[in-house]
Amino acid sequence: MSASSRKSETIELMGKLGVKPEALEGGDLAVYSPTNGEKIADVKKSSASEINAQIEKAHEAFKKWRTVPGPRRGELVRLLGEELRAAKDDLGRLVSLEAGKIPSEGAGEVQEMIDICDFAVGLSRQLYGLTIATERQDHRMMETWHPLGVVGVISAFNFPVAVWSWNAALALACGNAVVWKPSEKSPLTALACQAILDRALKKFGDAPEGLITTFIAERDGGEVMVDHEKVALVSATGSTRMGRQVGPRVAQRFGRTILELGGNNAGIVCPSADMDMAVRAIAFGAMGTAGQRCTTTRRLFVHESVYDDMVAQLKKAYLGVTIGDPLSSDALVGPLIDKEAGDNMEKALEAAKAVGGKVTGGERVDVNGDASYYFRPALVEMPEQTGPMLEETFAPILYVTKYSDFEDAIAMQNAVGAGLSSCIFTLNVREAETFLSAVGSDCGITNVNIGTSGAEVGGAFGGEKETGGGRESGSDAWKAYMRRATNTVNYGTALPLAQGVSFDID
């Protein structure tokens, strides 16, 4: 498929999704499709004053939205889910065009948006607090949860639409306004989401103007939002480097953050593992999305008794996997996002070789010429955990190291900065339960006989240590989008003080 037809497909898809062609021309931010490296749009970036005005407006909208009953707020999220169902095929394809995901992953990302909308609709009727036993006679103590304010969402290129929906669906149900800064590498899917949302807002009827909006900007525009005192919560998804900048800036003004940062996720393969299941789970976890998921499997610790068998099976998978243009083939591995990502992959492989790593795969594959960056995923046998294995390289590289002692395997799994996702393959209940216990994996996601990637919306999503500690999506992650008040009511005639303190002014 030629470059110009990619551009015309973009215009056509955007049109179907509700974005006018004018929005794709004449702007100051060039957008490229990683599928063939061609420029597909020039979109307009917002200035600092435009971003500030948008946030002020969102704050005004919040003051109205917080008084709307929760289930009515849920109705807006339900309508968004309906619009997403109707747009699933087109939006999924646009994700493939702009982020390079294979079609089933592009569609899967939109399905995740629909799922979180369903979750948040139910949640809008369940924003409950506790009633707590009080030590004082004729008193009642309880918790109430209130809307927080404007939620600023910063998202990464690799989940260009799902991360926004995780935040937006919960934030809206919880009574907040939302301002979104998508990645500068994936602004088109964001403009499409805003158009989809605008249809839901229209059907809803009386949502305050400016309640949920998007602006296109690079890092400096993100910083404007990060520093704005009317943004009560900054939910930022991206690299640990970004989190190190955003976290302290928001803390400086006592704002709140949800930080969803980098991962360096590992799996452990034990002697009793179901090898066939493990190979398939690891292949998807490590090579899927061309290694560009925060939860991608990047390290593997394999027991010495099954090491040779596992490595042989993985090598076969790595040398056989299909690499190609996600828009015109049924390949399983698409492109890296850009040249920088390709350079980082090559540098990491060189560094691994320098410390004794034996590389299978990893070579650049010519799919659509020099302007696109397709690589065969790399399997690297490492004599020990060292060098680039200790850091996240956002590319399909899987480092494999042998272990003999189970405790050592857990120690190696935990010995990196990031703490997002982890998994173990074993049929031994002691190993499985130890891995899940307090002395096991230190990650936010710990799986047994499932790979590291592919979480469902029902669970809280996020990780520890350099992954930032934030939680989004399911379980009680909604609490981060609300403020808690502890209320104590005295319905008696006396005024007993807590802890038996007396302060008698007679």
Residue 189 contacts residue 156 (beta carbons within 8 Å): no
- In this complex, which beta carbon is closest to ligand NAD, that of residue 200 or of residue 398? 398
Q: Using CB under 6 A, which of 109, 325, 392, 466 touches ligand NAD?
A: 392
Which helix (H) or strand (E) segment is 242 a member of? helix 240-252
Which helix (H) or strand (E) segment is 295 a member of? none
- Interaction pattern, residues 417-456, with ligand NAD; x per rule: CB under 6 A: ---x------------------------------------
User: Whole-number minimum distance, CB 310 to ligand NAD, in Å?
Assistant: 25
Q: Using CB under 6 A, which of 35, 36, 158, 313 touches ligand NAD?
A: 158
Listed ranges 151-159, 187-195, 361-369, 489-497: which one lies at the site for ligand NAD (CB under 6 A): 151-159
Nearest one of 104, 131, 117 to 75, comparing CA atoms: 117
Q: Is 237 in the site for ligand NAD (CB under 6 A)?
A: yes
According to DSSP, residue 323 is labeled: B
Q: Using CB under 6 A, which of 238, 255, 334, 387 touches ligand NAD?
A: 238
Nearest one of 189, 194, 184 to 222, comparing CA atoms: 184
Q: Is 166 in the site for ligand NAD (CB under 6 A)?
A: no
Task: State how far the Cα of 380 lies from the Cα of 402, in Å rounded to an integer.
Answer: 12
Listed ranges 89-97, 150-158, 271-279, 493-501: which one lies at the site for ligand NAD (CB under 6 A): 150-158
Taking residue 417's Cβ as centre, other Cβ atoms within 10 Å add up to 14
Q: Using CB under 6 A, which of 188, 197, 246, 323 touches ligand NAD?
A: 246
- In this complex, which beta carbon is closest to ligand NAD, that of residue 175 or of residue 388? 388
Residue 28 contacts residue 139 (beta carbons within 8 Å): no
Q: Is 219 in the site for ligand NAD (CB under 6 A)?
A: yes
Residue 178 contacts residue 153 (beta carbons within 8 Å): yes
Residue 153 contacts residue 193 (beta carbons within 8 Å): no
User: Whole-number minimum distance, CB 292 to ligand NAD, in Å?
Assistant: 7
Taking residue 325's Cβ as centre, other Cβ atoms within 10 Å add up to 21
Q: Is 157 in the site for ligand NAD (CB under 6 A)?
A: yes
- In this complex, which beta carbon is closest to ligand NAD, that of residue 158 or of residue 214? 158
Listed ranges 4-12, 139-147, 254-262, 395-403: which one lies at the site for ligand NAD (CB under 6 A): 254-262
Burial of 414 (0-12, 13-18, 19+ CB in 10 A): middle
Task: State how far the Cα of 36 lies from the Cα of 329, in Å rounded to an integer.
Answer: 13
Task: State how far the Cα of 447 lies from the Cα of 437, in Å rounded to an integer.
Answer: 12
Task: State how far the Cα of 228 lies from the Cα of 255, in Å rounded to an integer.
Answer: 9
Q: Which long-range contacts (CB under 8 A, 24 or more apart) does 353-356 make?
A: 354/387, 355/382, 355/383, 355/386, 355/387, 356/382, 356/383
Say whether 50 is catalytic.
Answer: no
User: Whole-number minimum distance, CB 179 to ligand NAD, in Å?
Assistant: 13
Q: What is the 3-state secondary structure (H, E, C) of 18-58?
A: CCCHHHHCCCCEEEECCCCCCEEEEECCCCHHHHHHHHHHH
- Interaction pattern, residues 345-384, with ligand NAD; x per rule: CB under 6 A: ----------------------------------------
Which residues, 255 to 314, sit near ligand NAD by CB under 6 A?
Answer: 260-263, 294
Residue 264 contacts residue 298 (beta carbons within 8 Å): yes
Q: Is 159 in the site for ligand NAD (CB under 6 A)?
A: yes
Listed ranges 36-44, 73-81, 240-248, 311-319: which one lies at the site for ligand NAD (CB under 6 A): 240-248
Q: Is 184 in the site for ligand NAD (CB under 6 A)?
A: yes
* The one catalytic residue among 38, 105, 109, 260: 260
Interface positions with ligand NAD (CB under 6 A): 154-159, 181, 183-184, 218-219, 222-223, 226, 237-239, 242, 245-246, 260-263, 294, 392, 394, 420, 467
Annotated catalytic residues are 260
